[in-house]
Amino acid sequence: MKLNEKIVIITGASSGIGKAMAIEFASRGANLVLAARQYVALCELTESLIKQYNIQAVAVQCDVSVEEDCEQLIKQSLLTFGKIDILVNNAGISMRALFKDADLKVLKTVMDVNFWGTVYCTKYALPHILKTKGSIVGISSIAGYKGLPGRIGYSASKFAVNGFLDSLRIENLKTGVHIMTACPGFTASNIRNTALAKDGSQQGESSLDEEKIMTAEEVAKRIADGIENRSRTLIMTTQGKLTVLLSKFFPAWLDKLVYDNFAKEKGALLK
């Protein structure tokens, strides 16, 4: 399925992987519905894509943790374009705190955005994607296959997303709808800078060397290729593939490897 002239909804489209996907999809001729909370940045991006790629695009202010916003996003997409071919559930937020220190509101916020945002948007989009036999994509993480220390709410939300998409895929095995779970590794974006600390404030600084990890542009290209190829799962790094493999066959050993790795990060929470 080529992206040319397809109607694509991307949540969390104002920055990071979402913005990179908007640019990549537009370069392949897709018409876009771009959703995010940052409406000014979203409008600027939308305008530039229309001019540069001669596509149709619309910006919709949307907080995916609010069900009514997600319903309105789908309604606006249909009002503008009359159909939906692809939904990319990309909006996400991270956290960095040990469970013993974290305020429970932090975990709830992360779950509301990452899991419930995916559920809400998919619920309202699915009847229309069934008509086009299109695609539903969830941007998950290796943290959805292996729990990561200090990211307990993030891991929990991504495990939930993976389970949701797996179930949805089986329910739609004979409907023609394509369900894809995309799992980037650590990606250069602002998600770690905006990650929630133990009290719910923004972390403000990444604990990783951003220059040594995958770019958002590379992730966007692989996701676009995955949609066109109707791939089932994308695990984008060797480290991620190894993590999934080790979790199946050597889980206790992997626990130690993960602990040792995170104990070495900048400003480590583990000692």
Structure tokens at 195: 């990650």
| More confident of the two residues 193 and 246 | 246
Q: What is d(CA 122, CA 134) in angstroms, rounded to the nearest whole number?
A: 12
Least confident range of 8-12, 37-41, 211-215, 218-222 = 211-215
Shortest CA distance to 136 belongs to which of 56, 66, 227, 69? Answer: 227
Q: Catalytic residue at 124?
A: no
Report percent pLDDT > 70 for the chain.
94
Q: What is d(CA 207, CA 213) in angstroms, rounded to the nearest whole number?
A: 12
Q: What is d(CA 94, CA 111) in angstroms, rounded to the nearest whole number?
A: 10
Flag whether pLDDT at 210 surpasses 70: no
Instruction: Classify 38 as helix, strand or coil.
Output: coil
pLDDT band at 207 (very low <50, low <70, confident <90, very high): low
Flag whether pLDDT at 132 surpasses 70: yes
* C-beta separation of 5 from 31 below 8 A: yes
Domain locations in the chain as residue ranges:
7-237
Positive or negative: CA dihedral 206, 212, 215, 218: negative
Q: What is the pLDDT of residues 134-177, one digit of tens each?
A: 999 999 999 999 999 999 999 999 999 999 999 999 999 999 99
Flag whether pLDDT at 192 surpasses 80: no
| End-to-end CA gap in the chain | 49
DSSP-assigned letters across all residues of 192-218: TTT-B-TTSSB--S-SS-GGGSEEHHH
pLDDT at site 271: 82
pLDDT at site 200: 87
Quote the pTM value: 0.93
Flag whether pLDDT at 225 surpasses 70: yes
Q: What is the pLDDT of residues 53-100, one digit of tens each?
A: 999 999 999 999 999 999 999 999 999 999 999 999 999 999 999 999
Q: Which of 39, 145, 154, 259 is catalytic?
A: 154
pLDDT at site 122: 98
pLDDT at site 156: 98
Written out in words, the top-level CATH class of the domain with range 7-237 is: alpha beta
